[in-house]
Structure 1
């Protein structure tokens, strides 16, 4: 269960809202792992009450304890269900209809995409999302405006950040002897590898024991390296990756081959994030808090695939603005 949820019954997680716009209750009978703190805050503004029902075969409990009390208080029920492995919604639906209440049924696939602005990724590699069957690479309609944005913003950013480059180069050399720049193999569009350029923020022996995820408070990071990571200064050299057409300004974060291979084996649709160029920043980076590992990669993929599937100029500009907020709010990795 999501660590942000508070349980007050053996099976049911109940969340109340006093600021909802509609007199409506939301019941989710799918696994609730896809709901994060930001999602719940968003839903609390829409619904009077949110009920998260884990899987159970106890239909009597489901009806008498979970649903019946709600029907005494509310006229409208919004039921979210996963058709692939969930039969509970049939039980709830029949009870609601018998009580002559209004009910709206939404699949978890549509609910995530329309209400939460992300794509639902199943927990099991064998499960599918029918909304992702036709996901395609970016066509000319998307590539051309993205290329203009990439070159324009990168050129301006390079010009105004040159003093920061010089200062960072000197401080890195003083605090951690060795090269100021760091080159690392990353996976790009269509699974093609490229050399990602960054300012070095870790000690030279940071991976003496093998590849590992960086952490929020990583002991391998020297003092100024931590500041660069917090303010995203370490990402500035990737401007040259944009000029070399390795990456875009906005896109899924480029990952290392060893991690991509691992994630691809256990996370459905993970490889589809490589249908487009990776980016210095992206929808997942600004929408999801810091994290590392399979669980976090799955959650970030929900945002990356939403970006690919629903690209628009408005979404592109929104990500740029949110990135600025993240940088000046010092919410870096």
Structure 2
């Protein structure tokens, strides 16, 4: 594929995945370039017959001459697509603009309808029934290992998280870190966090630390699947750099979600923005098939086929 411009910068993680789908990726600068130079660069890139897709990754206007050239290419089997549509179609995430001048992408980010909510609650109850049926021995073993490796702290970890409509609730998880891990200063959890004891690392990798949240699901505070609930301290920080971060609170959070299975552990504000793109896609395109896909991908994580 050919990427025209750099309005959106692909992460290294995304480039690795894109190279599995597209053998050759060529970037062509667009800013302050005239149509003739851009067309010449595209022609040179098209000498490689494998390139059949052009991504318009620019916020600048497209001159008539270039539009005519691109539409003529379609007659030859070379299609073009905007970066916004490319991200949604090929990467299952919503584009978030850097300059915040165009927020039209938020128009279709809406709360669940009553029928969607009923479906999600049915999935919640069905899911946790079987989850508890198969996992109660695992939870007993988790409690044993926690007390064995970190006897000074409690088995369960309780912390306020932001849920539906920005209201806080008490989230319950198995404790995976040493007692008083933050020492009063909130910190991001990282992939190889030194505060995590050995069994805690196993639980975090396989998501076993999330099992006690079945109680939160029963109470209706969260769904089985949805955006990951964050602490108010972090949501307040993210709002300063991502003005529409609270859009994810239009729906209840979840134990697992689209962002969790599609993106590695977040360690900063940029990671939060990347995950928000996946969360917004999930809210915008929610359907039963997407829900089942997340369940499957989470299951693969739990049994060790994938762990990010």
TM-score bracket, normalised by the shorter chain, equals 0.7 to 0.9
**Contact 1:29–1:88 (CA<8 Å) still a contact in 2?**
no
The 1:96/1:89 distance shift into structure 2, 3 A limit, reads same
Match of 1:229 among 188, 199, 204: 204
Any conservation in 2 of the 1:120–1:129 contact (CA below 8 Å)?
Answer: no
**CA distance in structure 2 between the partners assigned to 1:135 and 1:258 by the alignment:** 24
Q: 1:156 aligns with which of 130, 147, 157?
A: 130
Deviation digits for residues 128-164 of structure 1, max 9, x if unmatched?
3423223210012211111011011112212322222
1:31 and 2:7 aligned: yes
Cα displacement string for residues 256-311 of structure 1 (whole angstroms, at most 9, x for unaligned residues): 10111111121253211111110000011111122321111111111111110001
SS at match of 1:289: coil
State how far apart, in whole Å, the 1-side matches of 2:127 and 2:39 are. 58
Match of 1:120 in 2: 95
For residue 186 of structure 1, give the secondary structure of its aligned residue in structure 2: strand
- TM-score norm. by structure 2 comes to 0.87
What does 1:5-16 align with in structure 2 at a 5 Å threshold?
none
Task: Confirm or deny that 1:250 pairs with 2:225.
Answer: yes
| Residues 70 and 80, structure 2, Cα contact 8 Å, conserved in 1 | no
CA positional deviation for 1:183: 0.5
Q: What is the rounded CA distance, in whole Å, between the counterparts of 1:100 and 1:128 in structure 2?
A: 28
Given that residues 120 and 302 in structure 1 are in contact (C-alpha distance below 8 angstroms), is that contact kept between their aligned partners in structure 2? Answer: yes
Q: What is the Cα-based RMSD across aligned positions, in Å?
A: 2.9
Distance 1:196 1:78 in 2: 45
Please report how far the alpha carbon of residue 170 of structure 1 lies from its aligned counterpart in structure 2 after TM superposition: 2.2
Structure-2 change in CA distance of 1:53 and 1:268 (3 Å): farther
Structure 2: segments with no counterpart, 5+ residues = none
Report if aligned partners of 2:217, 2:223 keep a CA contact under 8 Å in 1. yes
* CA displacement, residues 175-204 of structure 1 (integer Å, 9 cap, x when unaligned): 211211110110001101000001111111
Between 197-206 and 170-179, report the one with greater CA deviation: 170-179
1:185 is paired with a residue whose SS is: strand
Secondary structure at 2:25 match in 1: strand
1:70 aligned residue (45, 54, 67): 45
Match of residue 180 from structure 2: 205
Distance in 2, Cα, partners of 1:108 & 1:147: 34
Match of 1:218 among 193, 196, 199: 193
Q: What is the count of residue pairs matched by the alignment? A: 306
Q: 1:268-307 counterparts in 2 under 5 A?
A: 268-307=243-282
> Residues 71, 319 of structure 1: CA spacing in aligned structure 2 closer, same or farther, 3 A cutoff?
closer
Q: For 2:73 and 2:283, how far apart are their aligned partners in 1?
A: 42
C-alpha separation in 1, matches of 2:10 and 2:243: 14
The answer to which of 55-64 and 226-235 deviates more is: 55-64
2:108 to 131, 134, 151: 134
Q: TM-score, normalising length from structure 1? A: 0.81
Q: After alignment, is 54-63 or 156-165 more displaced? A: 54-63
Against the structure 1 CA distance between its residues 268 and 36, is the aligned structure 2 distance closer, same or farther, given a 3 Å change threshold? farther
